[in-house]
Amino acid sequence: MDAFTTHTGVGVPLRRSNVDTDQIIPAVYLKRVTRTGFEDGLFAAWRNDPDFVLNRSAYAAGSVLVAGPDFGTGSSREHAVWALQNYGFKAVISARFADIFRGNAGKAGLLAAEVDDKVVQRLWEHLEANPGASVTVDLTSRTVRAGEGEEAIVDSFDIDDYTRWRLLEGLDDIGITLGHDADIAAYEAGRPAWKPATQHAR
């Protein structure tokens, strides 16, 4: 995974709450066995609407999505994170993320930045008034920034310390865990014999 420190890119205001992962990418697009190529399914139903934000040229090259609360609810499909990344998104800003989506984002290297709902409202207003304007998400200082002068929006975002560290370092979780192999083996040695197994010694 590539390290993530800071990113500045076109902000996309998505004025929707409860954006579930079926909206991010419908099930019919989940049949691929790769991690790439899912951008065609991103917001597939909404992209039929010419007024949908990503269909407007100023936002088409967006890389920072600003969405309403409860983003990424529903299905555990990591394809939702991949679809956003495959399209070009580096970060999603919302007032609240569903647990599984936030976990998947952290694993795959998409920054899920949780901010106060008021910050989302201000970013929406700023991005709608200035189509194509940039938003900066700085993981080092945990800040989100947009606009300039008196209108500037500067606020902090929440992300758990461990995910932040992993993203900053670009670390592979499995590699970290395999470093604790002795602990895992010791735990396994103490598991009760009556615990179920899917395969049995003959």
Where does this chain bind another protein (CB under 8 A)? Answer: 15-18, 20, 22-23, 26-28, 30-35, 44-45, 68-70, 73-79, 81, 96, 98-100, 103-104, 107-108, 160-162, 173-174, 176-178, 180, 183-184, 187-188, 191-200
Sorted by sequence, the CB contacts under 8 Å of residue 120 that are 6+ apart come out as 66, 67, 68, 69, 93, 94, 95
Q: Identify which of residues 23 and 63 has a Cβ nearer to another protein in the complex.
A: 23
Using DSSP's 3-state secondary structure scheme, residue 167 falls into: helix
Minimal distance, residue 61 CB to another protein, in Å: 26
d(CA 62, CA 38): 16
Q: Identify which of residues 149 and 196 has a Cβ nearer to another protein in the complex.
A: 196
Q: Identify which of residues 149 and 185 has a Cβ nearer to another protein in the complex.
A: 185
d(CA 91, CA 155): 15
Minimal distance, residue 172 CB to another protein, in Å: 9
Q: Identify which of residues 5 and 187 has a Cβ nearer to another protein in the complex.
A: 187
Residues 59 and 44: beta-carbon distance below 8 Å: no
